[in-house]
Amino acid sequence: MPYAGNVSMTSERPLRHVAVLTLGCKLNLAESENWALELRRRGIAVSDRPVAADAYIINSCSVTHVADRKSRHLVRLARRLAPEATVVLTGCFAESAGPRASELGADLLVANAEKAAAVRRLLELRPTTPVVGASTAHRTRAFVKAQEGCNDVCAFCIVPRTRGRERSRAPAEVVREVCSREDEGYREVVITGTQLGAWGRDFLLPARPADLIRAVLEESTVPRVRFSSLQPQDIGDELLALWQDPRLCRHFHLALQSGCDATLRRMRRRYSIAQYAEALARIRVAVPDVAVTTDVMAGFPGESDAEFAESLAFCRQAGFAGMHVFPYSRRPGTTASLLPGHLPSLEVRARVALLLQEAERSARDFRGRFVGRMLPALWEQRVSRPNGRAAWEGLTDNYLRVRVETDADLGGRVTAVRLVRDEGDALLAVPVEAGAEVGGVPCAPRAVSRLSSPAASCW
């Protein structure tokens, strides 16, 4: 990737405030969080929204043409918000766009392979002046990268080209980062990667994701560990047995892409619908009340009405807790872009709408199962209620968004609540007992973290 741009007009001013803007996957989130922590440790204020700043690090995405458009937009927006600022562009769009990325006006392009050094590269260009009292927002969930790259060749996917071959971080390195996140006050870590199920495959002595999870559970005390995307072929008894540990969040993101075997074959996915259904069933048997979320694509080249109907029907019976629905997006350089049978965008949009309806229905079904139940939630942000009352919003370990009306400061804490009503976008809850917290209450974490049935109350 070319080194582009000059910073002569902006480099004199001390760097006090950086906006780290992130698009795309959890891996991008993990990297952006690392930069934010690195900058904060140097006393530099960090924002994760497009505001006026001294510099920007834009962590772009190229998974769809919409992601490309958003990446371009962020570079232009940063330039508009602060014409003198230093703009660093990295991520998959910068990687796949090549020379087009440097024409956008970024001052510095950083390749995916050099991403870890993005802050150092920025600081080489801009001096810093420590700022006292840099923000200490509630730290709830930290994304920790365990793996990067993918050796698979799904027909629609640009990621192997932008992220390269599979590379796993050593377990000790991952555990070290998890422990430092906990020391910084995070209550939950999300272990993430491009192809997490491939973690350890590239070691001299190959290892499996179960080995990594075991290491994190045994060598850290972080209250909640969430494992991000896996594929059906990664689901096995050894892995599932680890979910006996109440610190492991009962949430699996199992990308489906299509509910039709013929489409899966053309997508070059490495599982059949029967294998996917079996993995789903095994997860649900091993982990009660588990949330399974997924990614589904509509409009893959050659997807006939019958194939789409089959895909939709499978999603209906699968009963997902959440579905990310994507329209197929033609990516230059992918084999799918050369396939015949690309569908008119109107047809693709119609199919996306049907999948979104199903996503809404199955998510509502999943939420409805927990009304009346008691669950612990990690509180993330204060929200205001239509009735003017103070409230907090958070997430249960099984991926339910919940909110509770309280004047207490619940930021970054895990407390148990009773879920009383589905409000459509979240479940309204009431505190089980005012002030009772997992961290602070005398109840053993085991009892608290898996308080699912009303009968199991220890209050």
* Residues near ligand SF4 (CB under 6 A): 150, 152-154, 157, 159-160, 194-195
CB of 198 to ligand SF4, least distance (A): 9
Return the number of the residue (62 or 194) whose C-beta is nearest ligand SF4: 194
Q: Please, are residues 155 and 40 in contact by the beta-carbon 8 Å criterion?
A: no
Return the number of the residue (193 or 412) whose C-beta is nearest ligand SF4: 193
Structure token digits, residue 369:
């199962």
DSSP bridge pairs for 110 = 90
CB of 115 to ligand SF4, least distance (A): 16
Please name the amino acid found at residue 362.
Answer: S
Q: What is the CB neighbour count within 10 angstroms for residue 221?
A: 9
CB of 267 to ligand SF4, least distance (A): 8
CB of 215 to ligand SF4, least distance (A): 24
Return the number of the residue (5 or 299) whose C-beta is nearest ligand SF4: 299
Sign of dihedral through CA atoms 3, 79, 43, 26?
A: negative
CB of 295 to ligand SF4, least distance (A): 9
Return the number of the residue (222 or 264) whose C-beta is nearest ligand SF4: 264
Nearest to 33 by CA among 146, 141, 162, 150: 141
Cβ neighbours of residue 148 under 8 Å, at least 6 residues apart?
27, 163, 164, 166, 167, 193, 194
CB of 193 to ligand SF4, least distance (A): 10
Return the number of the residue (165 or 389) whose C-beta is nearest ligand SF4: 165
CB of 341 to ligand SF4, least distance (A): 20
CB of 230 to ligand SF4, least distance (A): 11
- Give the strand order in the sheet containing 108-110: 45-47, 17-22, 55-60, 86-91, 108-110
Return the number of the residue (66 or 172) whose C-beta is nearest ligand SF4: 66
Return the number of the residue (34 or 229) whose C-beta is nearest ligand SF4: 229
Please name the amino acid found at residue 220.
Answer: S
- Alpha carbons 219 and 189: distance in angstroms, whole number: 14
Q: What is the CB neighbour count within 10 angstroms for residue 17?
A: 18
Return the number of the residue (267 or 417) whose C-beta is nearest ligand SF4: 267
Q: Please, are residues 240 and 208 in contact by the beta-carbon 8 Å criterion?
A: no
- Alpha carbons 59 and 141: distance in angstroms, whole number: 19
Query: Which run of H or E residues covers position 77?
Result: helix 65-81
Return the number of the residue (326 or 399) whose C-beta is nearest ligand SF4: 326
- Alpha carbons 190 and 452: distance in angstroms, whole number: 22
CB of 181 to ligand SF4, least distance (A): 25
Helix axes 171-183, 209-219, angle to 10 degrees: 40
Cβ neighbours of residue 190 under 8 Å, at least 6 residues apart?
26, 30, 141, 142, 143, 144, 226, 227, 228
- Alpha carbons 456 and 20: distance in angstroms, whole number: 43
Return the number of the residue (160 or 171) whose C-beta is nearest ligand SF4: 160
CB of 328 to ligand SF4, least distance (A): 13
- Alpha carbons 323 and 436: distance in angstroms, whole number: 33
Return the number of the residue (194 or 406) whose C-beta is nearest ligand SF4: 194
CB of 327 to ligand SF4, least distance (A): 15
Task: Say if strands 86-91 and 167-168 run parallel, antiparallel, or are unpaired.
Answer: unpaired
Please name the amino acid found at residue 319.
Answer: G
